[in-house]
Structures are given as structure tokens and as C-alpha cells.
Amino acid sequence: MKTAYIMISNRHIHLTREAVDVLFGKDYELTVKKPLGYPIFAANETVTLKGPKGTISNVRVLGPMRPYNQAEILTADNFVLGINAPVKLSGSPDLAPLTIIGPAGELKLESVAVIAKRHIHMSPEKAAEYGLENKQLVRVKIAGERALIFDETVVTFTDIPDPTMHIDVEEGNAAHIKNMDIVEILP
Amino acid sequence: MKTAYIMISNRHIHLTREAVDVLFGKDYELTVKKPLGYPIFAANETVTLKGPKGTISNVRVLGPMRPYNQAEILTADNFVLGINAPVKLSGSPDLAPLTIIGPAGELKLESVAVIAKRHIHMSPEKAAEYGLENKQLVRVKIAGERALIFDETVVTFTDIPDPTMHIDVEEGNAAHIKNMDIVEILP
């Protein structure tokens, strides 16, 4: 059986060096609250997201800093903020605009908010064993009282030992699954 | 093709005459904010849900009053409230405990909170046409960028003209669908 671990993300934001300078102060360094898969960590720092209709505060910053700013939000947040963030893979262009507010300043960004498209990180070796290719779309079966089959799940080559499926909190709750649950990639 | 309309519910509560007496005052009558499928309506009245870990305010009361109290919450609310509401059909016994707070008083209920199991209301005539039976479990296909197949969907006989699938906000957001979207019941 082809399997993957589940990893569930709440809303969060990735920031560039330049954005951290504006939001938290020149040369400010993010501090580690909780290590996630190396080198990624949940930082102690949070920001507020501001859209035309509303704001969401206490949005966790993920470190380390990246070459681009990206707020990964929930579908429910689209309604609160009054924006129309698209469902796309992390790192995609043409995202929705938002203002990001930190303790030292704010930034108005034209392309920053996205709803993460569900995907499975997998090493090329494991993918070969499973007969899968990079960027291939697969279906993933969830058992239990809220059983469902996630379609449109993108295989993403990453150098990690075990295949790990990333979904957001709403997807996890809709399927009643939790972190580190093991799910089946359908043939 | 066998189809159903989608109807998405946010958290809400159904109350008995006795509960309304305690929460809003003796002989208080719920007032209509918005008619839903007759005779159900969203009331102007709201309550606060209180669990061992936290509270959720502005929870909409649905009218008319019923023979039993039932708070239909989201999976995310389980974590906020610190309870473990089960996934069950509306009207089931053995739900989770909660304290309900209204402007005139509060009620501690031992069996009140549930996460609604996804289901499709359908007339016996339509079910016969579709070759389905009451309480049968079916799979429902959602297309689009967050395509998925909902399994474990209960057919529920109700005297309505068009089959209507009830899901909660987290299920709707996980599938990126909205009210009145048309979905396919799989053979």
C-alpha cells in the first residue's frame, strides 16, 4: 500500500528579509517557538492580515525567511478579509493582495495571499518505488466517520524520508484527521 | 446523472420551549431573521457556548423550537471549547456536554453538542428514481480545484422537491463549494 503521513497547517505567513525589516525593525531576526520539519520553524513573531473587509490578528510567521512573501490562509479567511485568494501551490505567482501589519510597520503587498493546494512531499526515490512522477495528481483515501477521497493532490519532489501530505485545517477537519495520521495514496 | 443541491451550515443551535424560557425569559418567542427551508428559520437570537476550555459567542439559534436541544458545531469548535462532540446524525443520543448562556440565564446540558454527519435530504419518490434507500450511505463527487469525493453520506428521507446535501462550513471550504452548487451522487 502507498501511504503518507498527514501534516495539517493553520494560516501562516512566510516573509522576506526586507519584509521583516519593515514589519519588525531593521535587521530583526525571527526567534524559534517550535521547530517543524528542518529548517522550517514556527516563530514567536506574529502579524495581522488586513483586507478590504476585515482583519485577522495573531497570524504565525514561519521561518526561516524566504525569497518571497506568502500568506497561506484558509478559505474561511477569504470571507473575513474580503479577498479572493486562489487555490495554488506554494510559490505560485498572481496571488491576492493584502496589507501585512507588524509591530514596527506595515506593508501593502499586491500578490501575497494563497490557499495552499493540497500536495504530498515525496523523495524521487520513494516516488519511483510508488510509480509516481513529480507534479502528478493523485487521489488520497481517508477512512473513518468523515471518510472521503481527496482528489487533485499534487506530488511534489522534496528530499524527505517519508511521504508527507500537507493539507489545511479546514481540509483536516472535514475529513476528521489529525497530524501524523497515515493515509492511503490510491493507485 | 443523480444530483443534489449543496446547503452549507455554520455552527448553530436548536432549543426546546423549556430552554428558551431559561435562556431568553418565560414564554419568550424566537424572532425571524431569515427564513431557511420552511418551517426552519435563522432567528435573531444568539447564545454563547461554554466548554471546559473556552467559549464561542454569537451562535445563531434556529427556529422553530424543537423537542430536544442540539448544538451543531464545527470540528474546530471542539478544540476551542475543549469538548469531544461526536460525528452523528441530527437527533442522535449521547452527544457532548456544554453550558449554553443566554441573556436571561444559562443551562448546563449533559448531551447537546454534535458535529453533523453529512447527509442528503431526499423524497422517497426521488430516492426510488435514483435507486436509493433511506439511511443508505452514498458517495458524492465534487469537481474543481479542490475536487474530492465525500464518502459516508447518509440518504435521509424528507418531503422536499429536490435532493439537498447538508455539509458544514469546514467541509464546504475543504471542497471549495458554495450554497446551491450542484453535485453528483455517484452510482
Q: What is the pLDDT of residues B68-85, one digit of tens each?
A: 999 999 999 999 999 999
Dihedral of CA atoms B112, B114, B119, B125 in degrees, nearest 10, equals: -10
Q: What is the pLDDT of residues A40-98, one digit of tens each?
A: 999 999 999 999 999 999 999 999 999 999 999 999 999 999 999 999 999 999 999 99
* Cβ–Cβ gap B87/A146 under 8 Å: yes
The residue-averaged pLDDT of B41-60 equals 98
* Cβ–Cβ gap A87/B176 under 8 Å: yes
In this structure, whether the domain defined by A118-186 belongs to CATH 2.60.120.10 is answered with: no
The helix (H) or strand (E) run that includes residue B20 is helix B17-24
Burial of B88 per CB tally in 10 Å (0-12, 13-18, 19+): middle
pLDDT at A37: 79
pLDDT at A38: 79
Q: What is the pLDDT of residues B94-142, one digit of tens each?
A: 999 999 999 999 999 999 999 999 999 999 999 999 999 999 999 999 9
Report the complex ipTM. 0.90
β-partners of residue A41 are A35, A63
* A103 and A47 Cβ atoms separated by less than 8 Å: no
Q: Which residues of A touch B (CB under 8 A)?
A: 74-76, 87, 117-118, 145-152, 169-171, 173-176
Q: What percent of chain A has pLDDT over 70?
A: 100
Q: What is the pLDDT of residues B150-180, one digit of tens each?
A: 999 999 999 999 999 999 999 999 999 999 9
The residue-averaged pLDDT of A113-123 equals 97
The residue-averaged pLDDT of B29-58 equals 95
Q: Where are the domains of chain B?
A: 10-116, 118-186
Residue B148 reports pLDDT greater than 90: yes
β-partners of residue B168 are B9
**A148-160 b/e with 16+ CB inside 10 Å = b?**
bbbbbbbbbbeee
Residue of B72, B75, B181 to mutate, interface with A, max A Cβ within 10 Å = B75
Residue B40, SS3?
coil
* Cβ–Cβ gap A173/B117 under 8 Å: no
The residue-averaged pLDDT of A15-32 equals 98
* A150 and A140 Cβ atoms separated by less than 8 Å: yes
User: Which residue, B166, B162, B165, is CA-closest to B125?
Assistant: B162
